[in-house]
Structure 1
C-alpha cells in the first residue's frame, strides 16, 4: 500500500493506494486483485477486498466501488451497499464515517480527495475520457455541495500509466486541443510516425491545480512499467493476456 503525505496528518481520515501485493489471487491476478468485473475467482476477490479494509484501517463492513464507465458522473454515498448492481459512475463522495469508498484502476488515474474541516472525502477514477469530460471538477463540485470548500480540499494522484508508457494514435490529441490548445504540452512525438506519448498524470494534476485546492500530491508511479508492483491493462494487452487485475485506492472517515 502506498500512502501520500498530503493525507497522513489529517485527523480522522484514512487512505491507501493499493499495489498488487498482499492478496490471495493467483496467476495473472497475483495477488491483491480487487476487480469485481475481472474473471478471477469471486471468493478470492472478496477476500482481497476485505484485506484492503484492514490495510487501510477503515472499520467499514464493505469496500464500495462503482461500475466505472469513463464518465464525469459522481454519486453521494449515504450508506453501504452489498452484492448486486453497482452504480454506474466514476466518482464517489461521502461525509459518512466508517464508509470506505474507492476508485478501481489498472492504468487509469485514481484520485483521492479530503476536506478535513467539513469531513468530506472523495474517490475518483479518471481515464482520459473522464478526465477531459470533467470528472475531477464534478467531484470537487459535489464535495462542495456537502459542505467542503476548494481551498480546504487536499488531493492525491495515485499510481497510473506514465508518459513513457502511454502511446496514443494520431486522432487522440483532438479533444484535448479542442478544450485548450495549451494541452499540446502533454503530448510528445512517439517513435512511430503520427503517434504521441501522452502524459495523463500531468494533465490530471494540472486540472486539479486549476481548481485552487489546498494541496495536491502526485505519486509519480508508472503502473505499466512496474510489473512487479502494479496491475496494468495496457501491459496485459501487449502480453496478449486474457484479463488483468485491478487495484483500488481507498479513503474513509473514522
Structure 2
C-alpha cells in the first residue's frame, strides 16, 4: 500500500477541488489499514489524522463536512461544518460556500460528486442501492437548484463502487427494482438460479442522465476487486472479517 494519498479526479469536475480517495496514504492499522475515515472502525486519533490528510491533499485549509449516512434520499445544504456528534442524518450534501469540503463515506456504495461551475454550487451524494432507488441523486440536484444551479450546467461523476461482476443479488432485490420501473431490468445480468448480477454504477449514472444534467461520467473502479486500493463491505463480509474501513469522496469550492 502506498504511503502517498491517492485522490482520483475527473476532468468533468476540473473547476472544483475534488477527489475520490481510497486506502493509500493513511495511518490506520489492521483490517482497516490505510486511509480509513470512519470513526466507527478505528482509533479516533487515526481517523482524525486520516481526515486531516484528505483535506490537505484536496483543498488545504478547508473545513470538512460529512453527514451521518442512513441510506436515505435526504440532502442537507451546508453553510458551516458541525461537530461530529451533531451530524444530520442524511446521505447528500450541497453548498455554495467556498472553503467547505463536502465528504461522503463509502465501502462499495457509489459516491457521486456534482459541480455547476457557472453557478458555483457543488454536491456530494452517497448512493447505495437503497438511496439510489429512493432518489438521492434526484434530491441532490433539486437541492443544488435551490442554491442557483441549473441542471444543464451540472456535471456529475460516479466514483469507485462495487462493479456488476462483483455484485450478486437475490431475486427479491431484482424484483424490487423491476417494480419501481420495468426498464431497470437492463441493469441486471442473469446468474445462478434465484440470483443476478446488479450494475449499481450503471443504474446511478442512468438516474443522473434521466435527471437532465449536462454531463455524466463514471470512473469504472471496482471497490470489491481492488483490495490494496479500496475498502469493501461485501469483500469483508464474504471473508467473515469484523471490520472493513471506509473511503471518502470529497468536493469543494476554492
Give the drift of 1:135.
Answer: 0.3
Answer yes or no: is 1:6 the counterpart of 2:12.
yes
What is the rounded CA distance, in whole Å, between the counterparts of 2:188 and 2:166 in structure 1?
Answer: 12
- More moved, 111-120 vs 170-179: 170-179
- 4+ runs deviating over 4 angstroms: none
Work out the number of aligned pairs and report it.
248
Contact between 2:111 and 2:124, CA under 8 Å: does it hold in 1?
A: yes
Deviations 1:75-99 (A, max 9, x none): 0001111232311000000111101
The TM-score normalised by the length of structure 1 is 0.96
What is the rounded CA distance, in whole Å, between the counterparts of 2:146 and 2:111 in structure 1?
Answer: 22
What is the rounded CA distance, in whole Å, between the counterparts of 2:30 and 2:39 in structure 1?
Answer: 17
What is the rounded CA distance, in whole Å, between the counterparts of 2:173 and 2:81 in structure 1?
Answer: 38
For 1:222, what is the secondary structure of its paired residue?
Answer: coil
- Structure number having the greater helix percentage: 2
Answer yes or no: is 1:31 the counterpart of 2:37.
no
Which residue in the other structure is 1:217 paired with?
217
Which residue in the other structure is 1:202 paired with?
202
Q: In the alignment, which of 49, 52, 58 is matched to residue 51 of structure 2?
A: 49
- The root-mean-square deviation of aligned C-alpha atoms, in Å, is 0.9
What is the rounded CA distance, in whole Å, between the counterparts of 1:83 and 1:204 in structure 2?
Answer: 28
What is the rounded CA distance, in whole Å, between the counterparts of 1:166 and 1:58 in structure 2?
Answer: 36
What residue ranges of structure 2 are gaps of 5+ in the alignment? 1-6
Give the drift of 1:174.
Answer: 1.9
Give the drift of 1:58.
Answer: 4.0
What is the rounded CA distance, in whole Å, between the counterparts of 1:21 and 1:64 in structure 2?
Answer: 21
Give the drift of 1:59.
Answer: 2.3
Answer yes or no: is 1:148 the counterpart of 2:154.
no
For 1:122, what is the secondary structure of its paired residue?
Answer: strand
- More moved, 208-217 vs 40-49: 208-217
Q: Structure 2 matches for 1:64-213, cutoff 5 A?
A: 64-190=65-191, 192-213=192-213
Contact between 2:59 and 2:252, CA under 8 Å: does it hold in 1?
A: no
The TM-score normalised by the length of structure 2 is 0.96
Cα separation, partners in 2 of 1:58 and 1:178, compared to 1, 3 Å: farther
What residue ranges of structure 1 are gaps of 5+ in the alignment? none
Give the drift of 1:175.
Answer: 2.1
